[in-house]
Structure 1
């Protein structure tokens, strides 16, 4: 069953699962997309914030979007990287619905606002983002 706009309510929370961050993935992503020394050189290696965001997006796509009538996203707000992410860190993702509203331009859809968060093993946030998504309404 696909979730439609009507299936989401303010306060609904979705656990997205976990990802273990590897040194190899940090360096591979940095070489391809964010070749700054902190993301490439041995020592106190940290993941690019864009890499952290991409890992979150993968969990969000698998955990929510794949099972819903999602259309497109009109954007994000307040993307924050709050703590460095290092090799070996295990991150857990979650999203919470913070707003629901009808679409002003697409009567067949509504807009969801969700707060996304990645936390480390100590439940300390490493990334937060406000997500907006266009979600199809139930037919009929």
Structure 2
């Protein structure tokens, strides 16, 4: 189990492999972001994207899945305070393979029981940056000060 004290600025990691499918792109979009370039391959072909692309929110959700299974799986986490600097760098398309990279960029004491770890997260689609953000993650402290 990793606690607040175990994480230091500069720590890095790479997590997961996730292949995006067209069915998943359209299913997510039909429920949460029903724009034609996410839901209709024919309409998407005539869009500025030139084809079907995942919603940015879907990309964020897939990123979260990879983070939970990899980076956060062995962490004494208590949730998050939010994200900063969220950017969608390039569209994610069916057939893309996603991988998540992390870098601890800051740590700060929160209270006697928790600390905040700022983690720069980059989701790559076939080796290209598709999403970036800084997550503010609460971690349990191993010992109180």
Question: Do the structures match in fold with TM over 0.5?
Answer: yes
**Which consecutive aligned stretches of 4+ in structure 1 deviate over 2 angstroms post-superposition?**
none
Q: How big is each residue's C-alpha offset from its partner over 1:59-89, in whole Å with a ceiling of 9 and x where there is no partner?
A: 1011122211100211111100010111101
Hey, what does 1:94 align to over in structure 2?
Answer: 101
Hey, what does 2:133 align to over in structure 1?
Answer: 129
Give TM-score, length-normalised by structure 1: 0.93
Gaps of 5+ in 2: 46-50
Hey, what does 2:22 align to over in structure 1?
Answer: 23
Hey, what does 1:82 align to over in structure 2?
Answer: 89
Aligned residue pairs total 136
**Is 1:12 equivalent to 2:17 in the alignment?**
no
Q: How big is each residue's C-alpha offset from its partner over 1:90-113, in whole Å with a ceiling of 9 and x where there is no partner?
A: 11111110001111xx21111100
Give TM-score, length-normalised by structure 2: 0.90
Alpha-carbon distance in 1 for matches of 2:71, 2:132: 17
Aligned CA RMSD, in angstroms, stands at 1.1
